[in-house]
Structure 1
Amino acid sequence: MSQAPPQLPFSTSSLPPSLASLLLGSLPDYAELHCISNFTFLTGASHPEELIERALALGYRGLALTDEASVAGTARAHHALKTLRERTCEAVERSAARLARMAAGASPDDADDDDEYDDDDNEMWLAAPSSGPGAAAAMADSPAGGAVQPEFLRRHARLLARAEAAEAFRLLIGSRMTLQAGEGKGKGEATGELDLRQRKVSSEVPPEAPSEVPSEVPSGIRLILLAQDREGFGNLCELITLGRRRADKGSYQLYQHDISDPAAEEAHLRGMPHCLALLLPDYCADPDTLRAQAQWCRAVFGERVWIALELLQEHADALHRERLEAVAADTGVPLVATGAVQMHVRSRKPLADVLTAIRLGQPLGACGMALAPNAERHLRMRQRLSRLYPREALAQTVRIAQACDFSLDALRYEYPEELVPKGHTPSSYLRQETLAGAALRYPDGIPQSVRQRLEDEFALIEEKGYEHFFLTVYDIVRFARGKGILCQGRGSAANSVVCYCLYITEVSPEQTNLLFGRFISRERDEPPDIDVDFEHQRREEVIQYIYEQYGRHRAALAATLITYRARSALRDVGRALGIDPGVVEQVVKGQAWWESGHTFVERIARYGLDPDSPAVRQWASLVAQLRGFPRHLSQHVGGFVIARDKLSRLVPIENAAMEKRSVIQWDKDDLESLGLLKVDVLALGMLTAIRRALAMIPNPNPAHPQLPCRMEDIPQDDEDTYDMLCKADTVGVFQVESRAQQSMLPRLQPRRYYDLVVEVAIVRPGPIQGGMIHPYLKRREMVRRTGKLPTYHNEVIRRVLGRTLGVPIFQEQVMQLAIDAAGFTPGQADQLRRSMAAWRRKGDLKRHQDALIKALTRNGYPEAFAQAICKQIEGFGEYGFPESHAASFAKLVYVSAWIKCHHPAAFLCALLNSQPMGFYSPSQLVQDARRHRVRSLPPDVTVSGWESVLENDAVRLGLNRVKGMREAAALRIERARLERPFASVEDLVLRAGLDRHDIDVLAAADALRSLAGHRRQARWQARAAAVQAAHRDLLHSAPPAEGALALPAPKLGQELVDDYASLGLSLKAHPLTLLRRRLAGMGYATARDLARLPNGRRVRACGIVTVRQRPGTASGTIFSSIEDETGSVNVILWPDLVERQRKEVLGAALLGVVGTWQRQGEVRHLIAKELVDLSPLLGRLVAGSRDFH
């Protein structure tokens, strides 16, 4: 696909030669062909976006992004270039409109429209090439003629020049790599001569590679490969995949024979057709090695190879240039100028050095020659390049750039097709399966409204060509359901009746009035997004099915980019600068996750450092630069890319850290920007817990009580369940167990399913920022108190906002309002929705808002109403939930709440067996269950299995709760116990084949009490039994053992310490039970005592910190929970207190709080005024909190 620039919507001409000379001098055209970004991890010191913008500013004709065996940064560079082009074109259009207004008589101030794209950026002006667009002609062509002030004409001309430069700029896609020498490959020699100066770079399909296999170069070969077209990009991706899949995560292994030997693993990559090659010679290589490398390249690539001449102002530049010129003359491989670029500006040199030190794991002072001797590895001014390089070497760069005619826009996703059986088209098969599912969903007959929605969706799906996509997701879900794996689609897919009938989602859009345009629209040229949650403990079965069904060459997970945050940047930069490791760790521990990296300077004096010292200032500066830098690629939580053919020709694939996993080199944002399909196969712990709980309880459905209980058998609108929710008794309940949700439930008082939909969505940054919570709650309270519904401007508003009492809470409501009240098309409404989600990042919401305001006022709505709607829209930029998402989650809220309400023991057992998941630790779950009269029994080798089980009305903890216990040993215990009960610890050790480690951890967990008595006695017998088992043959003739030694039982305090150390919880007592007398003497009340107090009372409370939360919308406020033996207390910590007592806020395990008790109905919390760290009272008994979960 060509990158030839489209015709601009304005006329331009050439600059007068005198003006060009004056402004730019006699500058050569140049394209940088060797440039790495920070996606060459811990080497490149600039983001791809920075490199693109800087190259344009310097007037480059193109830039090749050539990260090491990677194209991970190319999507961002591509998007950055497209964005720059759009911005410059829009700036020109606005400028032309301004000139027209001025020509019509408007003053400059009145004509000014606050152009956000400042044309006074001197560097960007350099983007005008010497043969570029014309200022003089622009002045002549402008609508103002002589009536417009010259400064505005000159400004317009500069914008024209910048726009043409951006349109003509080429982004080349390539990669740098090292080819090692291999063994046992064919040999041959390169022959032939080539005229360096007359040679033209061909963009046509290259000839076949030479038949002979060239001799390998023992020292290895460093290359840059550039894709000429779509075929070349596919070859490049395949080669990178080959090297990455051979090696562990983060590395690659490529050999010279991979692209030179016809018998190689991927023979079609021989000679790398449709790619151009640049040999990167070692600066210190001897002439013979250089000649051998060039001859090998000439033999492999023919005329598609150049030698990179890199002159970086080092001491041997002249000698290096002489050598390469001689090699070029001898081998016929021409020279081309490149810059070995690692950063966009020279000021990034200190950061580049720090990255080198981090990569080597050494302080800067020990890196020596590994550090670059100067800052020349940046994008340099063309004047400087013209003084350093031969003009012909510079000219070659532009010829190469022009020969590379590939853009990522050429990529087209092709869906898997094998799911369609013979005799069907994709449309007919999708229709058949959907209607079959509809018959099951609607056993009494499919309603006409549903049939009409199905037909509408079928038509749009067929028009957009998405049938294979739906069938692919359907195939995955069908497999999971066939294996008994709970799953449920969510997100925008819940807007689709087709998805509902295919059992991809569980919410009927027809019942909840969801908006299909949120999922698919005619105007949006990208695939829909379907997220499906699976049980987290069984999702791997689904993932491996996908690999088996489609093959690893066609399916892989999307990447997730792991970036530096404040703490990791502080630690790595501090070590690189050689700062005392103890001080670095203190600073890191004192840095809260929400703070930027430079804030530590304000507190640095506490650690014995001068905040004004150059070293500390440099530390802060480098941390600020490093934050947000890529650290490495990880795997997405479940986003799968599945292709019809080889996925590795679309994007490189590499090994993940997890066994049997592979990932592509682009993340979800890259895929979205390129319009590529991703199917989200996500993990949800609550689905695991629900499936486990349902297996333990009787079926409540009277129609078939003998069948296993299913989610659909649970009765709807259960009063007891809603009573429990209204009291915020929701520890362990899906989505409504957080501090914020527990505070909202008593205020919202949910009594039906749709109330839960609102509850899930309203405690989100979007509704909070949009100011929607208080108006909604006030109207809800008014309706509850008076029975009167709000009045609406008209029926349209009532139909759209009536279900949320006139307050827009969901994105779909704003979209529907735009369609019904403002006359937007579904596609325009979807663009408005997308701008909501990205307005802080992209800043393009205003134009959509302006259009909405104009349309609403034109249709008779008051401007104040339109402005209020737009204000609320901005709130959705902070992660407002779509209604479809909330509707899907609300079902799980209700099901999990019903189980907790009616079967609390099964609920606890299921949660314990589903760990890790949820908001609360197992200790907190057990404490909460105890308050609901659920008994928990300790692990015991005579009855416990690996997992926890119901034992009558109690929960018997499984051996998996024992820290250090191995599942294989637990299973051996179970098998041996089935034969006959254990008679003693020795019998257990011998028959279950336990080693010293196994028996020690069981004794430490008090799991041998039935066989050996208390913990001390058990430990003694366990060690004796382990010794006897290990030396059975030696002890066979020994005298009989003496009777068991009677040891004193440990005290309760020691038992609690040992319980927490081995189980992470204790069933004997709450830790504060032992401290209650002492705490009471210090004036601390219990949670039970506080609950009885009136509003406004000054109180003192103390508890183990179980939760710390700092929502992004809370302006620095932290919400915490402290727990004692009688319950929990919610604590609010205002920002000034957080800053004043940050050590206590962040570090205390046992926290004393002095403050004001606030109570309003069922909403109770403690406003903290002073904090006391009482952690020393716990000794070794420290329970971990769920911080900022």
Structure 2
Amino acid sequence: MYLNCKTQFSFRYGTYKTEDLVLAAKAQGIKALALTNINNTADIWDFVQFCEAQDIKPIAGIEIRNGDTLLYLLLARNNQGLLAMNRFLSRHLQAGTPFPARPPQDEDYWVIYPLGAIDPGVLQLHEKIGVRAAELNKLYRYRDQAYADKFVMRQPVTFENQTSYNIHRLLQAVDKNILLSRQDRDTLAAPDETFGSPDALLQAFAAYPGIILQTRIVTDSCSIGMDFRKDKTKSSFKGSADADRAYLRQLAFDGMQQRYGSDHKEAQARIEKELQIIDSQGFNAYFLITYDVIRHARHRGFYHVGRGSGANSIVAYCLQITDVDPIELDLYFERFLNPERATPPDFDIDFSWRDRDEIIRYLFETYGADHVALLGAFSTFQQSALTRELGKVFGLPKAEIDQLVHNPYATYAEDSYQKLIAGYSQLIKDFPNHLSIHAGGVLISEAPLCRYTALELPPKGFATTQIDMHVAENIGLYKLDILSQRGLGHIRDCIQLVRENKGIAIDIHAVSQFKNDKRLATKLREAESIGCFYIESPGMRQLLKKLRCDNYITLVAASSIIRPGVAQSGMMRQYVYNFHHQDEVTYLHPKMEALLKETFGIMVYQEDVIKVAHQFAGLDRGQADILRRAMSGKYRGDKEMQAIKTRFFANCKAAGYPDAVSNEVWRQIASFAGFSFSKAHSASFAIESYQSLYLKTYFPMEFMVGVINNFGGFYNTAVYFMELKRTGAHIHAPCVNNSRQLTTLRDKEVYVGFIHIQGLEDTLILRIENERHQYGSFINLYDFIERTGAGIEQLNILIRIGALRFTGKSKKELLWEANFLQRRRPQKIPLAAGSLFEEQPETLTLPELQHHPLDDAMDELELLGFALGNPFDYVDDDIRKYPLATTLEGNTGDTITLLGYLVTKKDIYTRQNDRMFFGTFIDAAGNWLDTVHFPAIARRYPLSGEGFYRITGTVMEEFGTYSLNVTHMEKAGIRNRR
């Protein structure tokens, strides 16, 4: 009877959570249920499991629509029918074409049309017409006995009650971006699209027993199911399990020769152990597919970082999937893969953002479009966006909507819609809004992916599943994470620049040499790490100094304790204190000392938490694994988590631990939720930090240009140009005869890339580069205009930024001349390499035009967003009056006033929910200054954008690092042009 049910995965239409739909059906005594979301099968497998748990027969379906028009329902008679349905749905979603009035003929699924959509006389055996109870009065025209078996009952289920009907209306208004008052009721679900009583529904159709019978025939003929425990990822790389086993073994021991030499007993024993576990768990193909991706990347000259728990594996290290030596760090393989693990793991492989798409394309081409797809994800409605959307639906003015967003508890006039918006936004919060793409997940399946999901084609251009990582993992499809990272773009571009400019080939994977390099140790200890992956932020640079970090092991720890979960819990500060006072460390319990001696009594890694949960609290490995996954945000249920918490405290009580000890251990575990790293993950980050630091130390100019050209890092572009200047580079403004789209470096000469000029059109940039490449440099302004066809607005931009200074004329002369030439120039001119007859440009006689040094700086600030000179040349103050940031050292407790240029700030909230912030400035000599602005000062002296500030405060010292506790602050302006 209930052949047309929807959940929230009918985006902006359905209101039921999947499990709630099933539970509501169970409460009504319903024995069979069809899920038919609109053009979507995202939650089919969750639905199947929920139904099986409630002893309800699940039926997999789809409601096919073109816009608001319902065409038909598709109901799978078997798994082959779901495959055919998903393929049909995928073809049209990916092509963006309307669905046909009738789908392809296939007896593996039922097609049910709405009443009036089709003549029953043309129906095939697998096609029916669905009739709603309210439509029974329309059946008089079909009294012919020939049509007796053409109809079935169709009772749509979209919402539970009046409140959820209102939610449906709001969602539809948001979807169509219209006022609620202008909603067309014909496009909405009918108010009676609820379960109601099955007996009442049967009674409504009592005069039509044939329809009831046909409905039961359809229901009884449908079945869907799977073995959820079976691995459905690609099962073989070489064609058979034996071939895969042998090939992986060969690769592992060949790699051992390169990594460890031929006679390393510990490595050999560990490889043997890992290979046995990998084979027993059926993971040979997964390792080989990952190895093949790395092999292809290295062949193409791409750089990668293998990270995550996969770095616990010596086989992965030997296959060069990772550069983390698990023997060096005493990483245990069982953290990555073990027979008791509840769910198999995955590799996280980072590539440059420029290379990632080619790697993904390689996977599609190698394993076939039927078997490869990006993993979907779901964007959900959140509070601020919902408030705005609902405010628009109710017709509120923008100013009032802004007030609601910034202060949802504000009160307005009695006729305000505030309460409605606040109430419904809470009800709609976390509803799935639309399909998105997982950050890096790629699925490679043995059977066609459409057996499990339909595939869409987002703007990224690669087929993407309608299921997310939770469903994929639950049904046995395990992802390979192909991630993009701008830090690797820095490395890639730097290596290329060094090769081009200096003829030096760099082996960036020679990490063992980097770890033992004394120059790198000094740079690390002094936190000279601007631009370096993961170790350039103010917080991380301070931490490196506090830990006097000059080695790999300490950097691995720092990479983990900088995470918010550790920092916010107070454990980061405690770790630093314990690091400096190791003889004073006290442990909560003797067992805790044995478990956490290496990390000075602090849980730093996920592995530490697992050890504590298992060996201190007596949780089994499966429960510890669920706890770990919950910590990292990869577990979506809280029922199991609550059960584990209960078991944790019960076991602690049984072991006789004091309640205070148990509570504190749990608090430390809970503080890691969603933020902690595995030790292998931290080690992977530390490897990339070393690679970046090596390049910055030995090839600083090339490295900083690489950072600038990848537009990534903690700071804005201006900071990286300042850092580039400190390397001794000569930085030139963009030039039409020397610059390219990206910033270029030759010897020590750097030309800022055209891409940084705001308002300059990409098409003109391309024409400039092409003309120069084919026909040589531009001769003069007239030649530039003739060859590029630049319009007056674009010319003005180039002149103001100094890009035509090669002419030897001032900006003001060029602006006069450009406007004169543009007025005399024909409207249409062929953009060839000059004219048939070269004409000499007319010479203008102009009076002497004054130029102020600040003019260039102002133009640069406006067009680039930063000035290329020393910014302190332009401050409206005497920089000689102010001490430098280096004077903080040794003056703890003194009050001083400095002049600083704002680099960045970080807002945080205290336990009392008061806002404060940390500031980062540079002084006139380029030294860095860290400031602390406690709530009262943050309110009294807020930062008002970029620029210069006079900062007064008390010098503070903590573990050898210095900062200024601000007591007064005011902004300094820019000098007048006089």
* Class of the TM-score when normalised by the shorter of the 2 chains: 0.7 to 0.9
Is the 8 Å Cα contact of residues 476 and 542 (structure 1) preserved in structure 2?
Answer: yes
Is the 8 Å Cα contact of residues 521 and 830 (structure 1) preserved in structure 2?
Answer: no
Mind listing any 5+ residue stretches in structure 1 that lack a counterpart? Answer: 1-30, 86-165, 181-218, 260-269, 282-288, 312-316, 592-598, 1182-1189
Cα separation, 2, equivalents of 1:619 and 1:828: 41
Deviation at 1:420, TM superposition (A): 0.8
Alignment of 1:558-569 (within 5 A): 558-569=375-386
The one-letter code matched in structure 1 to 2:129 is I
Cα 1:1012/1:662, change in 2 over 3 Å: farther
Cα separation, 2, equivalents of 1:254 and 1:1166: 65
The one-letter code matched in structure 2 to 1:71 is T
Deviation at 1:451, TM superposition (A): 1.6
> What is residue 165 of structure 2 aligned with on the other side?
349
The one-letter code matched in structure 1 to 2:83 is G
Cα separation, 2, equivalents of 1:65 and 1:236: 13
Deviation at 1:483, TM superposition (A): 0.4
Cα 1:654/1:618, change in 2 over 3 Å: same
Alignment of 1:59-208 (within 5 A): 59-77=29-47, 85=53, 166=54, 168-178=55-65
TM-score by length of 1: 0.73
Is the 8 Å Cα contact of residues 490 and 531 (structure 1) preserved in structure 2?
Answer: yes
Deviation at 1:560, TM superposition (A): 2.4
Alignment of 1:393-792 (within 5 A): 400-407=218-225, 409=227, 413-416=231-234, 419-420=237-238, 425-442=243-260, 444-524=261-341, 526-584=343-401, 586-587=402-403, 591=406, 599-602=407-410, 609-610=412-413, 612-658=414-460, 660-697=461-498, 707-712=505-510, 715-768=514-567, 771-783=570-582
> What is residue 1159 of structure 1 aligned with on the other side?
956
Cα 1:490/1:362, change in 2 over 3 Å: same
The one-letter code matched in structure 2 to 1:532 is I
Equivalent position to 1:295, from 121, 144, 161: 121
Mind listing any 5+ residue stretches in structure 2 that lack a counterpart? Answer: none
Question: Identity of paired residues, percent?
Answer: 22
Alignment of 1:259-278 (within 5 A): 259=104, 270-271=105-106, 273-278=107-112
SS in 2 for 1:512: coil
Cα separation, 2, equivalents of 1:423 and 1:624: 52
SS in 2 for 1:494: helix
Please give the per-residue CA displacement for 1:802-825, whole angstroms capped at 9, x wherever unaligned.
Answer: 321232211112334556667776
SS in 2 for 1:347: helix
> What is residue 721 of structure 2 aligned with on the other side?
926
> What is residue 876 of structure 2 aligned with on the other side?
1076
Please give the per-residue CA displacement for 1:761-809, whole angstroms capped at 9, x wherever unaligned.
Answer: 00223324655323322221114xx7x8888977x86675332123221
Deviates more, 1:1104-1113 or 1:35-44: 1104-1113
The one-letter code matched in structure 1 to 2:438 is H
Alignment partner of 1:309 is 2:131 = yes
SS in 1 for 2:2: strand
SS in 2 for 1:715: helix
Alignment of 1:208-227 (within 5 A): 222-227=71-76
SS in 2 for 1:1077: coil
SS in 1 for 2:783: helix
SS in 2 for 1:520: coil
Cα separation, 1, equivalents of 2:168 and 2:603: 48
Cα separation, 2, equivalents of 1:736 and 1:826: 34
Deviates more, 1:400-409 or 1:169-178: 400-409
> What is residue 91 of structure 2 aligned with on the other side?
242
Please give the per-residue CA displacement for 1:478-509, whole angstroms capped at 9, x wherever unaligned.
Answer: 11111010012111111111111111111011
Please give the per-residue CA displacement for 1:276-306, whole angstroms capped at 9, x wherever unaligned.
Answer: 333223xxxxxxx45x34334x32xx1x444
Is the 8 Å Cα contact of residues 411 and 650 (structure 1) preserved in structure 2?
Answer: no
Cα separation, 2, equivalents of 1:441 and 1:769: 39
Deviation at 1:668, TM superposition (A): 1.8
Cα separation, 2, equivalents of 1:840 and 1:654: 24
Cα separation, 1, equivalents of 2:741 and 2:140: 72
The one-letter code matched in structure 2 to 1:224 is L
Alignment of 1:751-1150 (within 5 A): 751-768=550-567, 771-783=570-582, 800-817=595-612, 826-827=621-622, 829-837=624-632, 842-845=638-641, 847-848=643-644, 868-915=664-711, 917-930=712-725, 934-965=729-760, 970=765, 973-974=768-769, 976-977=771-772, 980-991=776-787, 999-1023=795-819, 1028=825, 1041-1043=842-844, 1045=846, 1048=849, 1050-1070=851-871, 1073-1077=873-877, 1094-1095=892-893, 1097=895, 1103-1104=901-902, 1106-1110=904-908, 1117-1121=915-919, 1123=921, 1126=924, 1129-1132=929-932, 1148-1149=945-946
Cα 1:1109/1:80, change in 2 over 3 Å: farther
The one-letter code matched in structure 2 to 1:908 is M
Equivalent position to 1:231, from 80, 85, 99: 80
Alignment of 1:1164-1179 (within 5 A): 1164-1167=962-965
Cα 1:781/1:373, change in 2 over 3 Å: closer
Deviation at 1:34, TM superposition (A): 1.4
Cα 1:530/1:898, change in 2 over 3 Å: same
Please give the per-residue CA displacement for 1:1139-1173, whole angstroms capped at 9, x wherever unaligned.
Answer: x689x57x75569698753511443445567887x
Cα separation, 2, equivalents of 1:1098 and 1:379: 73
The two structures, once aligned, show a CA RMSD in angstroms of 4.2
Please give the per-residue CA displacement for 1:864-906, whole angstroms capped at 9, x wherever unaligned.
Answer: 6665443322222232111111110011122223333443322
Deviation at 1:521, TM superposition (A): 1.9
Equivalent position to 2:114, from 280, 288, 293: 280
Please give the per-residue CA displacement for 1:577-624, whole angstroms capped at 9, x wherever unaligned.
Answer: 11123443x337x63xxxxxxx4232x6xxxx53x5441221222333
Cα 1:1109/1:54, change in 2 over 3 Å: farther
Aligned residues: 963
Alignment partner of 1:323 is 2:172 = no
Cα separation, 1, equivalents of 2:616 and 2:650: 11
Deviates more, 1:860-869 or 1:805-814: 860-869
Cα separation, 1, equivalents of 2:638 and 2:820: 69
Cα separation, 1, equivalents of 2:529 and 2:339: 42
Deviates more, 1:1036-1045 or 1:773-782: 1036-1045
Alignment partner of 1:36 is 2:6 = yes
The one-letter code matched in structure 2 to 1:52 is V
Deviation at 1:1122, TM superposition (A): 5.1
Deviation at 1:437, TM superposition (A): 2.0
The one-letter code matched in structure 2 to 1:420 is K
Cα separation, 1, equivalents of 2:22 and 2:280: 37
SS in 2 for 1:510: coil
Deviation at 1:422, TM superposition (A): 8.6
Cα 1:1122/1:767, change in 2 over 3 Å: closer
Please give the per-residue CA displacement for 1:835-884, whole angstroms capped at 9, x wherever unaligned.
Answer: 44468951434544565667778889888666544332222223211111
SS in 1 for 2:409: helix
TM-score by length of 2: 0.87
Cα separation, 2, equivalents of 1:61 and 1:747: 65
Equivalent position to 1:377, from 175, 178, 193: 193
Cα 1:753/1:1024, change in 2 over 3 Å: farther
Cα 1:926/1:274, change in 2 over 3 Å: same
Cα separation, 1, equivalents of 2:437 and 2:911: 29
Cα separation, 1, equivalents of 2:127 and 2:228: 24
Cα separation, 1, equivalents of 2:945 and 2:340: 54
Cα 1:808/1:582, change in 2 over 3 Å: closer
